[in-house]
A and B are shown apart, each in its own frame.
Chain A
Amino acid sequence: MSKTITIDPVTRIEGHAKITLQLDDRGEVSEAYFHVTQFRGFEKFCVGRPFYEMPYLMERICGICPVSHLLASAKACDALLAMKVPKPAGKLRRILNLAQLIQSHALSFFYLSAPDFILGMDADPKERNLFGLMHKNPELGRGGIRLRQFGQRIIETLAGKRIHPAWVVPGGVNEPLTVEKRDKLLQQIPEAIQIAQKALAWFKVEFEKFREEIRMFANFPSLFLGLVTVDDRAGYYEGKLRFTDSLGNIVADKLEAADYPQYLGEAVEPFTFMKFPYYKPLGYPDGIYRVGPLARLNLVDNCGTPLAQQEWVEFRALERNAVNSSFHYHYARLIEILFALEHIQEYLLDPIITESHARYSASLNNLEGVGCCEAPRGTLIHHYRVDEQGLITWANLIIATGHNNLAMNRGILQVAKHFVHSEKLSEGMLNRVEAVIRAFDPCLSCSTHADGQMPLKIRLVSSEGKQIDEICREP
C-alpha cells in the first residue's frame, strides 16, 4: 500500500513551500516533490509600465535580495539604452552587490542554518532556533549579527536605505560616494574580516560532525553555472556564463547572458509554480545544474583575493574534482563572505570610487534588453522587451532559486531515501529533509511579510486517505 508524507510548511527558508514524500508498498521513499505554492505574477503586471520604472518595481520581488533584482533590472535597462555606465558607477554597483551577498549569506548561515550545526539535526525545534544558537554559542551569534549589520550598513551608506533602495538607475547610480562615507566603511572592514575568518575556522571543525549529511545532502554529479570574468574569476556583477561538470571540465564557456534562450530551457511541472530551468543540449531533466556559492567556487581556478584564495584552495581539496555535496553550500557561503569583504576593500581603496561622475543618460536605443548578475543564491537574469515608447511589452525573469529547482527536488529524494524508512516519523527525519533545502538557501516568496511563527505538520497518509501517523510542531 503506497503512502504519502507531506511537510507543510518548510521552515527556516525564505518563503512558503511544502514537501511531499511518496512511499511505496515496502514503506520506502519512492518519489519526492518540492512544491512552491505561491504565484506572484511580476512578469505579467509590469507589462505596460515604462522601462525606467522596472528596477524599482522588480526589486519589490524580494526583501532579502532586492539589490540583486535592482542591479539585474538596471543592467537590462542599460541594454535598452545601449550604454555602459561610468567607471565609478560600475564599481559602486559592484560594492552594492557584494554587500548584499554578505548580509544575505550571514542571514542564511548564522540565523537559518547554524542552529542545526550548533544544536544538532535531532534537537528539539523549540531549542533548535536562533535563540538556541545565541544561548549555546553567543560569540558566533554576535559575529553573525555583526556581519549582517555590516552588509546592511554598506547598502544603506551607498544607497540610502537597507531595503528597496532606489539609488541604482539605468545609466549608473544617482549619487556618488563621498570620501567621508568611504573612510567610515573602510574602518569597519578589518573587524568584519576577522569575524568571517573565525566563523570559517569554527565551521571547518564543526562540519566533520556531519559526515552522513555531507554524503547524502544533494550529493550527486551535475553541471554548475555562473558568471566568470575575463581574468577567470567568479564574476558577481560582470562576465560571461560558464557551465562546468562535476569532473571540473568546462562544458560551455563565454556564453552571453543575452543568448540564454539558446542554451537554457524552462520546463514546468504540475506540482509547483516554480519553473525548472535546464541546460538545453542535455535536455530535460538531464540538463540539471546548480548555481550559487557552491557552483561559483567550482567554476573557477582562482578565487581572486588573498585570504579567500587560501580558503578556496582548502575547499576545493575536499574532493578531487568539483565539490558535489550541497551541504558544502554552507562552507562556500562563508568563503564568499570573506571574498566579498576583501573585494569591497579593494574597490573602496581605488581612488576612482569617489569620483563624481556617476551616471550617463541616453534615449531608448534597443527594443530588447537582458541584464544578468550573480545574486547571493546564484545567477539572476532579467529580460525585457519594450515598444517604441519604452513601455514594457514582455518580461522574463530566471531567478537563482529556479535554476536550482531540479537539484533541490533530486536532493530531497536522496535525503528522504536515506533517512526516511519506517512508518514512524521523527523530528530528526523531518529536519534533515528540510535541511537539504535550507542548504540551497532558496528564496521562494521573495517577500519579507510572510507569517511569523508557523506550525509544521507532517502527515503519513495511505493511498486510501487513511492517516497512518502524524507529528506536529506547535508555533
Chain B
Amino acid sequence: MNRALVLACGNDLRGDDGAALQVAKCLRNGLCEPDTCICAEQQWTPEMAEPISKAEVVIFLDASASLSPGEIACRQLQPEAGGTTFTHETSPEGLLSLAKELYGVHPERAFLITVGGAAFDLGKGLSKPVRQAIPHAIERVKALLSGVTLPPS
C-alpha cells in the first residue's frame, strides 16, 4: 500500500493544461519519497476511488484557467457527493466521497493544488509563467507530503 497518492490531471496537447502532468513527471524522477504513488491521467475517473481509499494522504494536481498565469492555489478537501450525471468529469471531492461510500474510508488528508495557466490552445509546451511555477508547485507537494498543514480557509 502506498502511504501517499498524487493524482495529476491534464492534457499535454493543450498547452498549459499539461502543467500538472509536468509536476507529476518531475516528482516521478526522484523528487518524492518511494512510498508515494504518482498517477498522471487526462481525467479523474471513478476507478481512482479504490486507490484513494487506501492512501493516508492524497494530492490532486490540476491546471486552472481562473487563476493568474503561474499562480498556485492550494486547499484542503473534504468528501462531497457530486451531483454529476456525466462520467467525463469527476471532482476530487466526489472521488473522496466515492472512496468513503464504496470502501468505507477516505484519506485523512486530501488537497488540491492548482497552477494557473496562460494558454490552453492546441499545442505542446508550457508558457513561461507556468514553467517558472513548476518548481514551486513541486515544493508545495513535497511540503504537504511531509506533513505540513494548511491554515483553515
Which residues of A are interface residues toward B (Cβ below 8 A)? 11-12, 63, 107, 111-112, 125-126, 128-131, 134-135, 138, 141-142, 145-146, 148-149, 152, 163, 448-454, 473
Contact = CB atoms under 8 A, between A and B. Distances in A.
A141 B99 CA distance: 11
Nearest to A124: B83
B47 interface: yes
A428 to B, nearest CB: 15
B124 to A, nearest CB: 15
B48 to A, nearest CB: 9
Given A130-B87, A152-B47, 12 more contacts: A12-B86, A111-B46, A112-B87, A125-B85, A141-B102, A142-B102, A145-B46, A145-B47, A146-B50, A450-B88, A453-B83, A454-B85
B43 interface: yes
A378 to B, nearest CB: 21
11 contacts: A112-B87, A130-B84, A131-B94, A134-B98, A134-B101, A138-B101, A145-B47, A149-B50, A450-B86, A453-B86, A473-B85
B115 interface: no
A453 B89 CA distance: 7
Given A145-B47, A145-B49, A63 B85 contact: no
Interface residues of B, number: 22
B82 interface: yes
B97 interface: yes
Nearest to B81: A131
A131 B98 CA distance: 7
Contacts of B47: 145, 148-149, 152
B102 A145 contact: yes
A122 to B, nearest CB: 15
A130 B45 CA distance: 11
B42 A130 contact: no
B60 to A, nearest CB: 15
Contacts of B98: 131, 134
Nearest to A452: B89
Nearest to A150: B47
Contacts of B114: none
A131 B86 CA distance: 10
9 residue pairs, one from A and one from B, having the closest CB atoms: A452-B89, A129-B85, A149-B47, A111-B87, A131-B81, A134-B101, A453-B84, A138-B102, A126-B83
